[in-house]
Structure 1
Amino acid sequence: MTTLVEQLISKMGLGEEPNVLEKTTELLRLLELRSTNVPLQINEYGKIVLCADIACSVLDIGFDKEQALKLSALRKTHYANNKRMFEKLLELNKLASIKDICVQLSLNEVAHKAEDILAMFKKFARDDADPDHPQYAAMAVFHACRLLKKKVSKPKLMPFSNLRPTQWQQLEQQFERLIAKHLKDLNVTTAGVKNKFTQQEEQNGLSKKQKSSEKTEIEEYEKWKSRMLATAEAKLKELENIA
């Protein structure tokens, strides 16, 4: 007699995939142990489907999310929220980095600017902010796209942040104020460094010209000295011959 787990695995088209059933069962048992003090408000179907979803992620096996949603009888947001909670309980939640986000959304060209923005946030953010939370990486990528005039789909980017729309909007405004205040200062500082570098180059250029001029004068003096000595020697020999 097949179990409910086996039935759902089969309905999701994963019955022939190696190790999926075993991994899903393992995760369900582990979840049961770790959720003793955390009441899971989710039906048994949803619990199994979510563990199968996580198992496929771990095993790097393709997973049909649309079919999974139907079988779980969960709304899309409820499904996503419970998956994050399961991953946390199972200690499998990997925080998305700027690199992860840029690779998945094909935004590699904005990664460097996003890193600069995140570094600036870490420097000037409130003490109670956790800079490692994925919301800040996602927001840094979003504003990097804005600054570099690169189109990005906010609905595709927002899931990386684990934020609700209202929370996203608040953080977006916070980053806007931060960038308006400090990115301008950074640009001014950079321009100042460039100007200073240019002045140093000009001074170095003048110094080189002066040295070159001094060197030329020394060479001309040596030539004059040699010529004068040669002339004196010639006259001395001439006088000796006359005598």
Structure 2
Amino acid sequence: MANYNMIENLSKRLNVDDTFTLKKCQEFLRILQTKNTLKLSEQVQIIICLDIATNITGQVFDKETALQLCSLKKSAYENNRHNILKVLNLDKPISISELCVKFSCTHLKDEANKLYSCYKNKDNKIKDDEHPQYAAAAVYTICKLHNMKPPKSEFTSISRLKPTQWTALATEFEKFAQTMGFQNIKNKSKKKQADDENLEEVPEANSKKTKNELKKQEIEDYEVWKERILKRAKELIANGHE
């Protein structure tokens, strides 16, 4: 069993003092010890188990301090965390719906699902549907197309990819989205504005045409009037002479 003094010390440094959370952490550490499949230091295991326990109990967890105490880069930490989740049978794949809730963009869920489905149908390389990289890339891409500013570091962490791998995947998704007709909201607005301007030009042209016709009609009416007056005058003169 993990050193209880070490658990207590690390939990204090991470400001985790909830009794139920600490019990959960100890429970997870016992499972890890029985399976003994991970080559991680005891300190790293305790910190990650505290992270997982706080996530379950809804307690606050200081990730930055945890990274410093583990002496790990964020990507390495997340990979180890995922491996521990797998050992504990807690590795539920994150869905597009959950990502949209997490990043406050639930109104983009259908569009992100559509992009993911299109990509999946086109790319035969996707064999592991449960890997979060594709769901993350779909939501990230749609957010960017709608001029939101999705946090790249958080999406990279969720994707469980190295930063360079994530950048490559995000770029690939963005290009793919364009080929499938997913437009940037700015471009949509510009197109709509151009269409509106074209529609405005048509009535204006019709208006000019109508004015010209009315003007022409007015001229024709005047000529008719003039001819009628002259004819009437001639008739009066002729009758006067009689």
TM-score range relative to shorter protein: 0.5 to 0.7
What is the match of residue 32 of structure 2? 31
Give, in angstroms, the shift of residue 161 of structure 1.
Answer: 1.2
**In the alignment, is residue 11 of structure 1 matched against residue 13 of structure 2?**
yes
What is the match of residue 148 of structure 2? 150
Give, in angstroms, the shift of residue 30 of structure 1.
Answer: 0.3
Change (3 A) 1:79 1:147: closer
What is the rounded CA distance, in whole Å, between the counterparts of 1:155 and 1:2 in structure 2? 34
Query: Tell me, what secondary structure is at the counterpart of 1:22?
Result: helix
Change (3 A) 1:126 1:67: same
Q: Is the 8 A contact 1:134 1:160 kept in 2?
A: yes
Query: Tell me, what secondary structure is at the counterpart of 1:149?
Result: coil
Q: Is the 8 A contact 2:75 2:162 kept in 1?
A: no
Query: Tell me, what secondary structure is at the counterpart of 2:19?
Result: coil
What is the match of residue 163 of structure 1? 161
What is the match of residue 213 of structure 1? none
Q: Is the 8 A contact 1:45 1:73 kept in 2?
A: no
What is the match of residue 197 of structure 1? none
Query: Tell me, what secondary structure is at the counterpart of 1:129?
Result: coil
Change (3 A) 1:33 1:145: same
Q: Is the 8 A contact 1:20 1:55 kept in 2?
A: yes
Q: 1:76-225, aligned counterparts within 5 Å? A: 76-126=74-124, 128-183=126-181
Change (3 A) 1:154 1:74: closer
Aligned letter for 1:123?
A: N
Alpha-carbon RMSD across the aligned residues, in angstroms, is 2.4
Query: Tell me, what secondary structure is at the counterpart of 1:3?
Result: helix
Q: Is the 8 A contact 1:135 1:162 kept in 2?
A: yes
More displaced stretch, 111-120 vs 144-153: 144-153
Q: Is the 8 A contact 1:101 1:160 kept in 2?
A: no
What is the match of residue 196 of structure 1? none
Q: What is the total number of aligned residue pairs between the two structures? A: 180
Aligned letter for 1:146?
A: K
What is the rounded CA distance, in whole Å, between the counterparts of 2:108 and 2:30 in structure 1? 42
What is the rounded CA distance, in whole Å, between the counterparts of 1:134 and 1:48 in structure 2? 25
Gaps of at least 5 residues in structure 1 are 185-243
What is the rounded CA distance, in whole Å, between the counterparts of 1:145 and 1:155 in structure 2? 15
Gaps of at least 5 residues in structure 2 are 183-242
Q: 1:55-94, aligned counterparts within 5 Å? A: 55-94=53-92
Identity over aligned pairs, percent: 33
What is the TM-score normalised by the length of structure 1?
A: 0.65
Aligned letter for 2:24?
A: K
Give, in angstroms, the shift of residue 11 of structure 1.
Answer: 3.2
Q: Is the 8 A contact 1:8 1:49 kept in 2?
A: yes
What is the TM-score normalised by the length of structure 2?
A: 0.65
Aligned letter for 1:118?
A: Y
Give, in angstroms, the shift of residue 126 of structure 1.
Answer: 0.4
Aligned letter for 1:11?
A: R
Aligned letter for 2:10?
A: L
Change (3 A) 1:14 1:127: closer
What is the rounded CA distance, in whole Å, between the counterparts of 1:9 and 1:177 in structure 2? 45
What is the rounded CA distance, in whole Å, between the counterparts of 2:49 and 2:166 in structure 1? 28
What is the match of residue 233 of structure 1? none
